Amino acid sequence: MSTEVVVAEVTAANVRKACDLRVHPEQEPFVAPVAVSLAEAYVYPSAWPRLLMEGEEVVGFVMAGFNPDDEVEAFRCGIWRLNISAGAQGRGLGRIAVEAVAAEARRRGNTRLTVLWEPGEAGPEAFYLRLGFRETGEILFGEKVGVLEL
């Protein structure tokens, strides 16, 4: 029987396990380690970090940013990071994480969710396109910009 996956806040009880989360080695160039993202969350008030928990296990991490006043449209409401544990990929958890961000974005009154990704063989492009993001054609900091209408 599979345990239910819950979207949870980062707490004193789970933060070390969150930092231990690893993607597949070939995916590492495409996403920052969770510890780096959490350090950024500490200094950016607009960051919205969440964990995917399966029982006591941390199986995923997602961090969005909500900053309606950002001068760059792509940074007003977007996914900054998404890491699904190597052993837990391919089970719909990435989709659950994106849906959790989309729900929070809608709750805050947004109608568009953006994401930036680096193109590449082991990168997340096909995943985001499968979830309905479309490429805007922009390149920011060497990464493609994708947008999902909410």
Question: With respect to ligand COA, which residue has the nearer C-beta, 93 or 145?
Answer: 93
Q: How many CB atoms lie within 10 A of CB 122?
A: 12
Least distance from C-beta 1 to ligand COA, angstroms? 19
Count interface residues toward ligand COA (CB under 6 A). 21
For residues 58 and 17, the answer to whether their CB atoms sit within 8 Å is: yes
State how far the Cα of 16 lies from the Cα of 107, in Å rounded to an integer.
29
Determine if 94 is a binding residue for ligand COA (CB under 6 A). yes
Determine if 37 is a binding residue for ligand COA (CB under 6 A). no
Least distance from C-beta 34 to ligand COA, angstroms? 11
Question: With respect to ligand COA, which residue has the nearer C-beta, 65 or 94?
Answer: 94
State how far the Cα of 116 lies from the Cα of 124, in Å rounded to an integer.
10
Least distance from C-beta 109 to ligand COA, angstroms? 24
For residues 41 and 24, the answer to whether their CB atoms sit within 8 Å is: no
Can you tell me which of 87, 92, 120, 132 binds ligand COA, judged by CB under 6 A? Answer: 92
Amino acid, single-letter form, for residue 41: A
Residue nearest to ligand COA (CB): 94
The sign one gets for the Cα dihedral 24, 102, 37, 67 is positive
Q: Which residues, 6 or more positions from 96, have their beta carbon under 8 angstroms from its beta carbon?
A: 5, 7, 52, 60
Residues numbered 58-87 forming contacts with ligand COA, rule: CB under 6 A: 82-84
User: Which residues contact ligand COA (rule: CB under 6 A)?
Assistant: 23, 27, 30-31, 82-84, 89-95, 115, 117, 123-124, 126-127, 130
